[in-house]
Amino acid sequence: MSSFRRRALLALATLSALTGASLAQAQTVTFRLHQFLPPQAAIPAKAIIPWAKKVEAESGGRIKIQLFHAMQMGGTPPQLFDQARDGVVDITWTVLGYTPGRFNKSEVFELPFMSGSAEQSSRAFQAYVEKFAADEFKDVKLLAVHTHGPGLFHTKAPVTGLESLRGMKIRGGSRIINNMLTKLGANPVGMPVPAVTEALSKGVIDGTTIPWEVTPALKVSELVKNHTTFAGQQGLYTQTFAFSMNRAAYNKLPDELKKVIDNNAGIETAAMFGRAMDEGDKAGRAIAEKAGNNIVALDVAETQRWRRTAGTVETDWINEMKGKNIDGAKLASEARALIAKYSK
């Protein structure tokens, strides 16, 4: 073979390799992200949509995120975690309490008067899950977990003390919250948050437990005129959320795109979702105030009565966990220590 021909073949092979590398570099992947709220709600508007745009930008457009809001891809909110696990979709955001008994160690953050600020509690919850409950998320690529802000009541008749809650049909979002409502004398009605608007308008429930942030999307401040808050930094309850990705979809990514996902997962992502909740709480309360609604602020003494009554929920949970060989008392102590750490 002549030297000229050898040089020509070498040049052709080099060009082919470069072209192949260039095509691989330019290859894009599209992920479908599914969640249960309308796009104008706080988490979609202030966390999920910005997260998707950030991932797309940092990947140089090689990752595309298709957003499907309000269960557009079918199913129900309790099925969302499994939709990500099973690859029905690629990424989901949902409430852990919608699948009772499944995320046992994670439930500790739902206990009464456990947490306050969503950003601080979300940092604490992410750190807690990574250290104590990672096995509960082993079937997915966990992007972040977080909490909402201080939980409160939104009711048709005012709740001015423990006695006035008794007998009311109140929506609860998890088994821990429903147990708490029972201890407090209410009649709990379990349902995912998208069902709250219709349930209130049809009189199925007398009120609901949700944070301020989701009240505008559900038109709650139009449907009820009373809101009851508690003294101190901690809310009556919180709910826990997971932002999850199909593990196989993540594993198929080239290393440089895995890094983009990894850079947008973990404690800072948890904090971003928490901040969206805190900002949403301010906006939701402002709407209720502008509407002239009655906002009841229970004083320290009355709040202490609620703390004592609701405190038996923690005892129940610890005893239940003992039967599952889980040291619930230790986990509750660890959760409080992390909340204190991130609240400084």
Per-residue pLDDT tens digits for 88-119 = 999 999 999 999 999 999 999 999 999 999 99
In a domain, 105, yes or no: yes
In a domain, 304, yes or no: yes
Report the CATH number at residue 214: 3.40.190.170
In a domain, 172, yes or no: yes
pLDDT score of 87 more than 90: yes
Domain coverage including residue 253: 28-148+239-280
Rounded CA gap, 252 and 141, in Å? 12
Other C-beta atoms closer than 10 Å to the C-beta of 140 total 22
- Clarify whether residues 140 and 103 are in a common domain: yes
pLDDT digits (tens, 9 = 90+) for 242-294: 999 999 999 999 999 999 999 999 999 999 999 999 999 999 999 999 999 99
- Clarify whether residues 156 and 116 are in a common domain: no
Please give the model's pTM, rounded to 2 decimal places: 0.92
Q: Given this model, what pLDDT does residue 6 score?
A: 59
- Clarify whether residues 192 and 73 are in a common domain: no
In a domain, 66, yes or no: yes
In a domain, 123, yes or no: yes
Helix (H) or strand (E) holding 65: strand 63-68
Q: State the average pLDDT for the chain.
A: 94
Q: Given this model, what pLDDT does residue 134 score?
A: 98
Distances (CA, A) of 93 to 98, 123, 215, 335, 340: 12, 17, 18, 22, 26
pLDDT digits (tens, 9 = 90+) for 177-224: 999 999 999 999 999 999 999 999 999 999 999 999 999 999 999 999
Number of domains in the chain: 2
- Clarify whether residues 128 and 219 are in a common domain: no
CA atoms within 13 A on the CB side of 5: 2
Mean pLDDT of 46-56: 98
Q: Dihedrals φ, ψ of 218, to 5°? A: -95, 0
pLDDT digits (tens, 9 = 90+) for 333-343: 999 999 999 99
- Clarify whether residues 32 and 99 are in a common domain: yes
In a domain, 219, yes or no: yes
